[in-house]
Structure formats: C-alpha cells, structure tokens
Amino acid sequence: MPNLNSPNFSSCSDIILLLSSTACWNASFLDQSDDGHFKTNPKVPGIDFNAVRLLFETLMKPAFARLLEQITKSFESLLIPQLPCSPPDVEAMRIYLILSECPAFQDSKNYITLTIPLAMAILRLDANPSKVLDNWWSLMDCTVFTRLVEMYKSIVVFLLTGGKALLMPVFLESYTSAALRLLEKLHKVNLKAHRVEYNHFYIPDIATLVDIQEDYLKWFLRKADIKMRYPPVQGSVTLCAYPFILNAQAKTTVLQTDAELQMQMAVSGANLHNVFMLLTMEPLLARNPFLVLHVRRNHLVSDALRELTIYNDVDLKKPLKVIFDGEEAVDAGGVTKEFFLLLLKELMNPIYGMFTQYSESNLLWFSDKCFVEHNWFHLIGIICGLAIYNSTVVDLHFPLVLYKKLLEISPTLDDLKELSPTEGRSLQQLLEFEGDVEETFCLNFAITREYYGITEVKELVQGGKTIAVDKTNRKEFVQAYLQYVFSDAVQEQYSAFSSGFLKVCGGEILSLFQPSELMAMVVGNNNYNWEEMEKNASYKGEFSATHPTVKMFWEVFHEFSLEKKKQFLLFLTGSDRIPIHGMASLRIVIQSTAAEEHYLPVAHTCYNMLDMPCYQTKETLRQRLTQAVEQYEGFSLV
C-alpha cells in the first residue's frame, strides 16, 4: 500500500473508487470452509470477520488517517446511498455486516452521516433480504451483537441530548425513529436467538432525558386516535412505542401515570354525573368519586366479595379507600395496605385448598381441586390489580409463569423447574437421555394425580394411556405435560384470576412489561440496598440519626445476616421484598417509646413504623430486636 500521507495521494483514487464499491466489499473477506469452498446462504454469511477487523484496525492507525477519511466520505456519499431495497442475491447482503464492523460507525461524529443512514438502508430492505439479515444477526457472537445494540442505544441518547441543537425537528424525529426501529429489529431477533439478556436493551438514563409522563400521554392519545380512526396526533416520536428500551423504573412511572389518568377520568366522570344529578334533582343517584370498600375484620373475604361485586370496571379505576367497620382511622394509605395484607392472608389459607404449595420452591400454583367458588380466584385477581394501581406491594408466592401467562407468553420447562425443581429436572433428563427412552422410563401420555387420598389418571392427549413415550415423541410429551400443569388442569381457576386482574390492569399498558417486571410490580423485588434504607429512614420522638440508640440499632442491623435482614423487612413492612423503585422508595420510620428495656420493639406494618424503647446497650438491643423479628408470624405463607 503506498504512503497515503505523501503529496502523491491522487494516485490512490483508484483505491478509493474500489473501496466505495459494494461489490468490492462483498467479494472480500470470504470465509473458506474446511473443504475449500466458500459458502454463503440465508443462514450463513460466509464472512471472515477476523480479516474484516484486521483491515479496520490497520486503517485506524495514524499512517492511514487520510485513506480512512476518504473511505468514510465514500461510504457517506457513494456506498450507503446506493444500497438497494432488494439486493440481487444473498452474497450482496454481506455489506451490512461488514460495515457494522467499521469503527467509524461507532464514532458519534459520524452518527448523522454514516450510522443512521446505514440503519435507514437496513430498514428499507424488502421482506426476504431483511429476514436474511435477521438470521445472520441471530448467529452473531454475543459480544458483537451487544456492541451493535449499544451503538444504536448511544445514538438514541445522542439524539435526545445534543440532537435538538444540531438538527431540524423533522430530521430529529426521522433519525430518532430510525435508531429506535433498528433497535426494535434487533430486539425481535434477540427474542428468538437470546443473544443478550432483555435488559441489555434498556437505556438506564432515559427518564432523565425525556419526560416519561408526557411521552406516555402522547402515546396514549395516539393509540386512542387509531382506535377511533382519527388522524394521529402529530409530534415527536414516543418512546413508549418502544418499551424494550424502558427499564423497570421508567415502566413503573408509565404505569403510575396510566393509573393516575384512569383515576382522574373515573373521578371526573363521577363528578360530571353528580352535577347532572343535582341539576335534575336526583341527588340520591350521585356517585362516589372513590372506590370505597366497607369491610369487617372478621368477615373480610365475604365483605370484599360483596363490595367488589357491585362495582363495574370504571369504578375499579377510582382511588381506593378502605373503611374497617367500627374504626375511625382515615385511610391515607396505611389502612389500604393492611386490608391487602389481611385479605390475602385469609385467601391463601390452606384450609380452602385454592392453591398447591410446592415444598421445594415454597411457591404456589392453582389447585384443580378446591372448596371455594371461582369468584374467590376472581377476587384475588382484582386485589393484585388494585395493589398495582394503588402502588402497594403484596406478599404473594406465585412463580414467574403466572405473569408470563398474563402477558400471553407460553410456559417453558424452565418454569416447571422453578415451581417444582424435581419434576423439571426429571423432564430435562428425559429430553437428554441417549439410551432407549421407552424401555428406561416406561412412560405413556398419561400421568397420575392424588387428590385427598384418591388416585386419578389424567391423559395428556386423547388415548394417552396407550401411547408410549419414546425418543421420537418425548418433546411432545414434555410439551403436553407443561400444557396440563400450567393450563388444562387449572383453566377455570386461572381464567377467573386473570379476568379479575385484567379488569383492573388490562389494556395496552400491560404490553409494556416483561414478566419479571410485572411480577416486581406486584410483589416487589430483591435488589436490596440496606445503606439506602438507612439513609432514607426518618425518626420521631426522642430519636434522630445521631441518637445513641438509633446508632446502635443500625450497627446491629448491618451485622445481621441477609436472611435476618429480610425477616426484619417482613416484620416491619409485611413483605420481605422491596418496591420496584428500589430502596429509595421504601421509607421507614423509627419512633422512640417510653417503654422499659425489657419490652420488645413493635412494628406498625401499615406505616412501616418501628416503635422502639431507648435501649442502653447494644447487646440488649440485639436480643430484643432479634426476639421480636423471630417471633413475628407476619403475613407470609411459611
């Protein structure tokens, strides 16, 4: 290669022309297989990526700076603009992978001129070549796929920060849309190929770059316009249309915004109705702007069923207020939390047989034999939905598969492994066994189940008793087994639960969430940050952050094991998990009492408040706190 920094640089014009040719790039870097042939097909790109990277690494050296500059310009003005919508053959598709390896595309100064135009060219591809590129991406090394995702995430951030100053609004929207749509294409590939974890697509600081609430309202209005067949509202691209980039906290903000919107609409509707009733002299037909539940502590389930049955879907969107019969407490959130805790504790009571508890995992699943009406399952669904809409964490020991089903995602063998590890491992062994499956396992397409001392045989398919499981049909057996456990056996119970849940939390908003995120909305998560909890604690009475007893308390607490800390959390809040927003949203209160040192600390679960005597020694505090935590039964199921 000539000295490209010499005055005789014009002699390289043929090289520049060559390197701006799509055909030249596509014919280079061919991966020669063991048999000496080059192979490219819809599933194999046939590229020697090591050779591609070596070239670009060489071009990045100072000696070739001028050549790299010229190549970059040729990419911008010649190569990328000429990329066709329908390449002539599969070999012509190699260029899209080769260009993605060029470091210049990862430089922010080239985002507008190179990287985004490449994304637009990819998005213009016809259906068949687009599928070929998807196939090739699905076979990429995970690190390469991650780099591609990170590059277009960086472009989105770049456009949301500096883009407004560089671009006219119409170009800013077009470029942002292109980057997001390219990420969406990569995300769809990842759903099938599992190159990276889904949270690799999150843009963590997205909430600081845009007003999530405003973005959701725009998205909500556009959805409404589409349903009503009105022309869509004009404006910037909405990020809620690409929920895979929103982390759990951003999605929680979206859901809470939706909840507030739905509540305001329900309240406004009630108020408007009330004004009309006053004008027509029918004040007795006025509607309460709140969802008010009047319940008795000793008849909690029957009262909750009665109260919730009389309300329609719109009423369930109203702000929730709970009144315990004979009690004067004003519900500022604490009474509602107590209601959820007590009601779910009662509904989960094993005497009703509503759920089967799996001892290995300590998780619950619907029982196909129980002693209650299906409206009890409907009630639990409504309660879970209300808990989300009223930002209350509840202590429910359901597996992830429940939330997958709510999002219409099919269960897998991993879900059975979570719920019943031994069963899951047994089926995995069946799938992996190399010997004679029929002779070794002696299975057919039927299983036995015991219900209160009576054994029943359940056929997984019609005539299953006579169909032996062998190497050719074992996958079908496992699939039928999963279908039975997670769907067929509990169809009525699950349908009642899901209809109650979706009555409160259904609609477009649910589609934004991953199953694990939806689960965290209901039961919280385990991303513990104990220092954050201490930092956000507040104090009443004699106590302050510098009080000797408070300082001893935190010393003792931080010396607890993880399990003991979780026990304390359960003791104080009614759940050993934390809200989806993290410890920053968990506010605990420590209040001094006049009780003597032999008294134990007392937790007010509804208000996350701990009443504690002014213990004089660290050892006394440790003993009393440990005793209080260990003796507490709480609302858990174990």
- The residues assigned a catalytic role are 606
| Rounded CA separation 350/342 (Å) | 15
Residue closest to 496 by CA, chosen among 382, 371, 419: 382
Cβ–Cβ < 8 Å for 534, 554: yes
Residue closest to 509 by CA, chosen among 241, 111, 172: 241
> b/e for 99-135, b at 16 or more Cβ within 10 A?
bbbbebbbeeebbbebbbbbbbbbeebeeebbebbbb
Cβ–Cβ < 8 Å for 200, 146: yes
> b/e for 9-43, b at 16 or more Cβ within 10 A?
eeebeeebeebbebeebbebbbeeeeeeeeebeee
Residues contacting residue 182 through CB under 8 Å, at least 6 positions apart: 119, 122, 123, 152
DSSP state of 32: B
Q: Which residues does residue 538 pair with via DSSP β-bridges, in sequence order?
A: 589
| Rounded CA separation 23/95 (Å) | 9
| Rounded CA separation 200/187 (Å) | 10
DSSP string, 352-371: G--EEEETTTTEEEE-SS-S
Cβ–Cβ < 8 Å for 541, 611: no
Within 524-617, residue ranges assigned H as helices are 530-536, 548-559, 562-573
Q: Is residue 200 within a helix (H) or strand (E), and if so which, with residue range?
A: none
| Rounded CA separation 514/276 (Å) | 43
